[in-house]
Amino acid sequence: MSQKFSNRKPSYKHQNIQSEDESGNSPDQDGGEDIVQIFAAFNNRMEKKVKDKQRKLSSECDTMIQQISEFAHELVSRQKQEIDAKINEYKRKHEELDEEKLTIVKKLRSEEAKYLQLHDSIIYELDKIEIAQMEANQAFEKKFLSFIEDTNGQLQNLLIKNNAVEKNFFLEDSRDVN
């Protein structure tokens, strides 16, 4: 019985009736006990309803807490998946860019090697041309000097012959004059 009803003493309107029944109790006392029992039963029923309501409310709260917890877990899980997806996408793009950089660097190195090879072959050919040109110049100078010497020699021979012819001519003329 709750404290609210346990400390109460039943008040009876008919207290001046003094009759007693077989149990030795007056009829008013039996009626009072009935009322106390009714109130006690009512109180018990109310307490049971309160406890049932509390249990039901507690159960509903637990269910709501469970639902909220599941929803929060699902939300966190979805956000984690989205973040993981974005991280994976970033990593994939970063790897693609790294591969692209590597490809570009390889191409640049290959092109640099080709350029250096071409450059070296051009330098080599220019050196060969320069050497050939120097050899040609030297050969030309030798031939030219040889030609000049031959020409000088021929001119000297020609001059000598001309002088000789002139001397002979003058000699013959002088013989003719004499």
pLDDT digits (tens, 9 = 90+) for 66-82: 999 999 999 999 999 99
Q: Is residue 173 part of a domain?
A: no
Least confident of 20-29, 89-98, 128-137: 20-29
Least confident of 48-62, 116-130, 139-153: 139-153
| pLDDT of the residue at 103 | 96
Q: Confirm if 18 and 26 have CB atoms less than 8 A apart.
A: yes
The dihedral through the CA atoms of 45, 47, 50, 51 has a sign that is negative
| pLDDT of the residue at 79 | 96
* 10 contact partners, CB below 8 Å, separation of at least 6: 32, 35, 36
pLDDT digits (tens, 9 = 90+) for 95-143: 999 999 999 999 999 999 999 999 999 999 999 999 999 999 999 988 8
Task: Record the tokens describing residue 124, joined without a space.
Answer: 């080599």
Q: Confirm if 15 and 28 have CB atoms less than 8 A apart.
A: yes
Q: Confirm if 1 and 44 have CB atoms less than 8 A apart.
A: yes
| pLDDT of the residue at 32 | 77
| H-only helix segments in the chain | 3-6, 27-177
Domain count along the chain: 1
Q: Is residue 126 part of a domain?
A: yes
Q: Is residue 175 part of a domain?
A: no
Q: Is residue 106 part of a domain?
A: yes
Q: What is the DSSP letter of 110?
A: H
| CA torsion, ordered 69, 71, 75, 78, to nearest 10 deg | 110
Report the predicted TM-score, pTM, of the whole model to 2 decimal places: 0.41
Q: Is residue 18 part of a domain?
A: no
Q: Report how far residue 55's alpha carbon sits from residue 71's, in angstroms, rounded to the nearest whole number.
A: 24
The residue segments making up the domain with residue 153 are 3-9+23-133+136-166
